Amino acid sequence: MSYASTAGHDEHHDHPTGILRWLTTTNHKDIGTMYLIFSLIMFMVGGLMILAVRVELFQPGMQLMQPDFYNQLIGVHALVMIFAALMPAATGFANWMLPLQLGAPDMALPRLNNWGFWLLPPAAILLTLPFTLALFGIGDGAIATGWTFYAPLSVQGGIGVDFAIFAVHILGISSVMGSINVIVTIFNMRAPGMTLMKMPMFAWGWLITAFLLIATIPVLAGAVTMLLTDRHFGTHFFNAAGGGDPILFQHLFWFFGHPEVYILLLPVWGFMPQILQTFARKPMYGYKAQVYSFWGIGVLSVVVWAHHFFTVGMPVPALIYFMFSTMAISVPLAVLFFCWIATMWRGSMTFETPMLFAVGWIILFGIGGLTGLVLADVAADAQYHHTYFVVAHFHYTLFAGGIMGIMAGVYYWLPKMTGHMYNENLGKLHFWLTAISFNLTFIPQFFLGLAGMPRRIPDYALQFADFNAVSTVAALVLGLSQLLFIYNIVSCARGGKKATDRVWEGSDGLEWTLPSPPPYHSFSVQPVIK
Amino acid sequence: MAALTRIEERQEANRRLGLKLLWLVGGSILFAVSLVPLYDVFCTGTGLNGKTQNTAAQSVTEVDENRWVKIEFTSSVMPGLSWNFHPQQNSIMVRPGKIETVLFEARNMTNQVVAGQAVPSVSPGSANNYLKKIECFCFVRQELQPGETKLMPLRFYVSPDLPEKVEAITLSYAFFSAVKKAEQGERAAF
């Protein structure tokens, strides 16, 4: 929190100090900072959980934990990483950067903003509390169904399922409020002269994300509410004996779950071209094409959900529809990839840490996208479904495509937010360690999946031992490397070389016209865009 | 002063747009709730997902004597129900249009009165609407006395309209515990 003193140093308004400042703040920069710090903490919490899982998988056989505890760790890891690390990181950037990029004095609905953030810590506690309760003999631990809550397992599960259901409710309310705030800010608070088609890409990415959240989060909330009534109030939504259907749960869950992937990624797709154009020192390629691709992907993402359970026994016409509609997403996505590459094409590129992350991100996220095409193939999916191939695939999209993208954004904007340059050498070291250990963690998992190792099982057959050992060692390196990231952020917040207003030689956009760090209240008089 | 009014005007506009977006959220919630009945209507209407129409069908007289269709029966008992349950024949050959009767045997292995509900599923799903049940133990819940064995009839015919390419139909029954209390006691045992 040492960062607080730097953020507020040049303002002269009376607002509470100490903890009250953070509890009551409606300032978009304060709230953005809180989101980002919360996200970083939960990133480490979720990381620790999965490291315990990887250590258990280091060798075949059961060494460290009971299978039930293993199941709890994988499920809560996913829920924490998705809902408490990735989503808040994107919302944190939205809070910090949207008003600065749009030339607005603050977010449109500041009090809603404060509420949206302060719902998160209780939700995170609800998710993780059952672990602690189990230590005292209350209940049987956290949710052990995996993050997907599939019925009927979740109907039979212990107290942890109820905790997770309420956590999802609260997180959902927080996300929906954040989305409303983003949409109102983008529609109402842009600087005079900034038309929608002149908006920074980041705003476009977040606008689509916000609409997707509003459309799909209520479906998830509805599904888990039905689960709750099935568990406690005698309804039979997912109970075949009472006329319900467990497959219905999968449809409801993935109607939310697939757009969720794009919810996590669209904000990253938004700011990534801005980073690329900064360090390639030439304007973004294909602005309009990217905007239309965003819309295309946003619309397609809500009509392809059933490819997550091809093996459930769908009729062939449904399989074919979901296969081709899923593959159709690769068309707008390919447009984006070509735009990103064309933005760098023949540019005067330099490779500062954000650019390293951005270029690495394009390659690794590309691998994630291409392996997704393999899984979208109905015939191939029967082989790969529920194996480590799927695990490796979605970590290429969500760790490389999501988290490493967020890291690029952190390094890109950190000097603007703190007013200091971070340690460039440490940043580069962090990138190389992360990129290499990430690949060493997950490339073996592709092969494990191809060889038929099922996911979510704490033990495995002997022939999988070598790849698992490599994966575990690499995962430990990956986890430890993130301590460099934290050290770099903290020391950058504390001090260091002063950052210039523009920070990067090739940077472009309204946020770079402000001092670094920007004053507590910025753009009280909105700039005019010509 | 003028600047202040502008800010207030903007706050008012923001509040209005925020409230409008709440309607969108409400619409999404309504959509989520309506998905449940929509799913049922869609699945029973099209026969996707093996869901059968769980009501008695009318009989027909016309029998197709030129064709055999194999009907296979599978049975399972879901956790929480201590019954033995199986068909007396694993499969039969039928003429489309002819009414057949198959007996299923259920035995209560416990010393308590237990009720169960059989849930049918038909595979392939495209044959779903052509398998017509006239009488089925799955239409109502079944109650067995301690140790009781019960023979339960299934009377059905295959509609002569059944597509030519379907040569075999599998009808599977899963028996679920139908007593709420028994189900909860079972859950604690998990």
Contact (CB<8Å) A214/B33: no
Which of A228, A245, A303 is best to mutate for the B interface (most B CBs within 10 A)?
A: A245
First to last CA, chain A: 38
Pairwise CA distance, residues A155 & A248, whole Å: 14
Q: Answer whether A214's CB lies under 8 Å from A173's CB.
A: no
Residue B114: half-sphere exposure toward Cβ, Cα within 13 Å: 26
Q: Dig out the tokens for A204 from the structure.
A: 């476009």
- Rounded mean pLDDT of A484-494? 96
Residue of B10, B32, B119 with shortest CB distance to A188? B10
- Determine the pLDDT at residue B122: 86
What is the four-CA torsion angle of A285, A286, A290, A296, rounded to 10 degrees?
A: -150
Residue type at A90 in one-letter notation: A
Q: What are the beta bridge partners of residue A135?
A: none
CA-nearest residue of chain A to B126?
A315
Q: Answer whether A252's CB lies under 8 Å from A149's CB.
A: no
Q: What confidence tens digit (pLDDT) does each residue in B105-127 have?
A: 999 998 988 888 888 888 887 78
Closest CA to A383 of A453, A326, A465, A441: A453
Q: Is A108 on the interface with B (CB under 8 A)?
A: yes
Q: Dig out the tokens for B32 from the structure.
A: 């989520």
Q: Is the pLDDT of residue B188 over 70?
A: no
**Cα–chain center distance at A178:** 15
Q: Which position has the token pair 């038929």?
A: A452
* pTM (whole model) above 0.95: no
- Determine the pLDDT at residue A10: 46
Q: Is the pLDDT of residue A209 over 70?
A: yes
CA-nearest residue of chain B to A312?
B49
- Determine the pLDDT at residue B4: 64
ipTM over 0.90: no
Q: Dig out the tokens for A162 from the structure.
A: 């109820």
Pairwise CA distance, residues A504 & A80, whole Å: 33
Measured CA distances, A271 to A26, A155, A329 (Å): 24, 41, 20
Give the dihedral sign, CA A237/A240/A243/A248: positive
Q: Is B190 on the interface with A (CB under 8 A)?
A: yes
Q: Is the pLDDT of residue A8 over 80?
A: no
Chain B: give the shortest CA distance to residue A281, in Å: 37
Chain B: give the shortest CA distance to residue A308, in Å: 16
Q: Kindly give, in sequence order, each residue whose CB lies less than 8 Å from that of residue A316, ignoring residues fewer than 6 positions away.
A: none
Q: Is the pLDDT of residue A181 over 60?
A: yes
- Determine the pLDDT at residue A1: 33
Helix (H) or strand (E) segment spanning residue A422: none
Top-level class of domain B50-189:
mainly beta
Pairwise CA distance, residues B81 & A20, whole Å: 57
Q: What are the beta bridge partners of residue B144?
A: B114
Chain A: give the shortest CA distance to residue B127, in Å: 11
Q: Answer whether A528's CB lies under 8 Å from A191's CB.
A: yes
pLDDT band of residue B78 (cuts 50, 70, 90) is confident
Residue type at B12 in one-letter notation: E
- Rounded mean pLDDT of B127-153? 88
Pairwise CA distance, residues A264 & A159, whole Å: 29
- Determine the pLDDT at residue B128: 81
Q: Is the pLDDT of residue A227 over 50?
A: yes
Residue type at A456 in one-letter notation: R
What is the four-CA torsion angle of A224, A229, A231, A234, rounded to 10 degrees?
A: -150
Q: Is B35 on the interface with A (CB under 8 A)?
A: yes
Chain A: give the shortest CA distance to residue B150, in Å: 20
Q: What confidence tens digit (pLDDT) does each residue in A84-142 have?
A: 999 999 999 999 999 999 999 999 999 999 999 999 999 999 999 999 898 888 888 99
Rg for chain A, CA atoms, rounded: 23
Q: Answer whether A64's CB lies under 8 Å from A112's CB.
A: no
Q: Which position has the token pair 């939960």?
A: A42
Q: What confidence tens digit (pLDDT) does each residue in A356-373 have?
A: 999 999 999 999 999 999
Pairwise CA distance, residues A214 & A396, whole Å: 26
3-state SS, residue A158? coil
CA-nearest residue of chain B to A244?
B40
Domains defined for chain A, CATH in brackets: 3-513 (1.20.210.10)
Q: Is the pLDDT of residue B186 over 50?
A: no
Question: Which residues of chain A neighbour B18 with C-beta distances below 8 Å?
Answer: 108-109, 112, 180-181, 184
Q: Dig out the tokens for A493 from the structure.
A: 């917040």
Helix, strand, coil percentages for chain A (3-state, nearest 5):
75, 0, 25
Q: Is the pLDDT of residue A2 over 50?
A: no
**Cα–chain center distance at A402:** 5
Residue A333 CB neighbours (<10 A):
22
- Rounded mean pLDDT of A449-473? 95
Mean pLDDT of chain A: 93
Q: Of A314-318, B48-52, B67-71, which has the strongest mean pLDDT? A: B67-71
Q: Answer whether A372's CB lies under 8 Å from A350's CB.
A: no
- Determine the pLDDT at residue A221: 95
Q: Of A306-315, A337-346, B88-97, which has the strongest mean pLDDT? A: A337-346
Interface of B with A in 80-119 (CB under 8 A): 116-117, 119
Which of B119, B123, B170 is best to mutate for the A interface (most A CBs within 10 A)?
A: B119
Q: Is B36 on the interface with A (CB under 8 A)?
A: yes
- Determine the pLDDT at residue B59: 65
- Determine the pLDDT at residue A242: 73
Contact (CB<8Å) B25/A184: no
Pairwise CA distance, residues B164 & A281, whole Å: 67
- Rounded mean pLDDT of B40-45? 77
Which of B39, B78, B128 is best to mutate for the A interface (most A CBs within 10 A)?
A: B39
Residue A331: half-sphere exposure toward Cβ, Cα within 13 Å: 10
- Determine the pLDDT at residue B180: 52
Q: Is B43 on the interface with A (CB under 8 A)?
A: yes
- Determine the pLDDT at residue B179: 60
- Determine the pLDDT at residue A467: 96
Mean pLDDT of chain B: 83
Q: Dig out the tokens for B53 from the structure.
A: 């129409």
Question: Which residues of chain A neighbour B40 with C-beta distances below 8 Å?
Answer: 245
- Rounded mean pLDDT of A9-27? 75
Backbone conformation region of residue B50, classed left if phi is above 0, alpha if psi is from -120 to 50, else beta: left
Q: What confidence tens digit (pLDDT) does each residue in A39-97 have?
A: 999 999 999 999 999 999 999 999 999 999 999 999 999 999 999 999 999 999 999 99
First to last CA, chain B: 69
Contact (CB<8Å) A242/B117: yes
SS3 assignment for B140-182: CCEEECCCCEEEEEEEEEECCCCCCCCCEEEEEEEEEECCHHH
Q: Is A240 on the interface with B (CB under 8 A)?
A: yes
Q: Kindly give, in sequence order, each residue whose CB lies less than 8 Å from that of residue B1, ignoring residues fewer than 6 positions away.
A: none
Question: Nearest 5°: phi and psi at A13?
Answer: -105, 155
